[in-house]
Amino acid sequence: MKKLVKIVTKVHLSTKRNYKERMFNNKILSMQKARKFEYDYWDGDRNHGYGGYKYIPGKWTEVAKKLIKLYKLNEKSKVLDVGCGKGFLLYEIKKLIPKIEVSGFDISKYGIKNSKKEIKKYLYHHDARKKFPIKDKKFDLVFSINTLHNFRLPSLIFSLKEIERVSKKSFLLVEGYRNEKELFNLQCWALTAESFFTDKEWRYIFKQANYKGDYEFIYFQ
């Protein structure tokens, strides 16, 4: 498929951010804490990450519905979330299609441990920079939201190839920028990102990795 889609942008824009405040509030310490992907990142101070990543009823429902509609998911489908965090999106998909097979992994043991109890048994710890413990083309849909820009280029390309290997269809969301203002805001805000690319550069990377799935960019305007 490989097309630009809009699935998550509305959720991204619903969050207010003070870019300069984070940049000038001991950002180096905040980055060090965030990159452990443990309590400080998920549920600690806002300067270190999400500032309390809680389940909000309805927040991810429309995203789940869009994925289901676009990729024609049904009770026989198998879905994988690469970088699933606390599994909120998988939970919403499972609510809408109770018999669907869902799975997710994340580098954060804290995130998995503190996921919703209804979805926890489908989640496991794994680093997406390493070979996925999954057979070729096992999943009807593999998606990854706000994960791959946390990798440096060699690991990024490897992970894209792994997503392509294990999926029949795929979708990913990454941070990008279109002008100097958006780059400045992104660099002020980002704590865990290792890759900062324009849309054109991201598409070049997709081509180099032979990634054939869909994609979406979010911007810090």
pLDDT of residue 2: 77
Residue 160 forms part of a structural domain: yes
Q: Give domain status of residue 213, yes or no.
A: yes
Is the residue at 4 inside a domain?
A: no
- CATH number of the structural domain spanning residue 181: 3.40.50.150
pTM for this predicted structure = 0.96
In a domain, 131, yes or no: yes
Q: What is the DSSP string of the chain?
A: ---B--SSHHHHHTS---HHHHHTTTHHHHHHHHTTTSHHHHHS-GGGSSSS----TTTTHHHHHHHHHHTT--TT-EEEEET-TT-HHHHHHHHHSTT-EEEEEES-HHHHHTS-TTTGGGEEE--TTS--SS-TT-EEEEEEES-GGGS-HHHHHHHHHHHHHHEEEEEEEEE-BSSHHHHHHHHHH-SS-----BHHHHHHHHHHTT--SEEEEE---
| Residue 132 · residue 111 · CB < 8 Å | no
Q: Is residue 26 part of a domain?
A: yes
Structure tokens belonging to residue 165: 């290997």
The count of structural domains within the chain is 1
Chain centroid to CA 87 = 11
Residue 161 in domain:
yes
Q: Is the pLDDT of residue 187 over 60?
A: yes
Residue 55 covered by a domain: yes
Cα–Cα distance measured from residue 165 to residue 145, given in angstroms and rounded to the nearest whole number: 18
Q: 32 lies in which domain range?
A: 9-218
When pLDDT is cut at 50, 70 and 90, the band that residue 24 belongs to is: confident
Minimum mean pLDDT range among 1-5, 44-48, 66-70, 128-132 = 1-5
pLDDT at 1 over 70: no
Q: Is residue 120 part of a domain?
A: yes
37-82 tens-digit pLDDT: 999 999 999 999 999 999 999 999 999 999 999 999 999 999 999 9
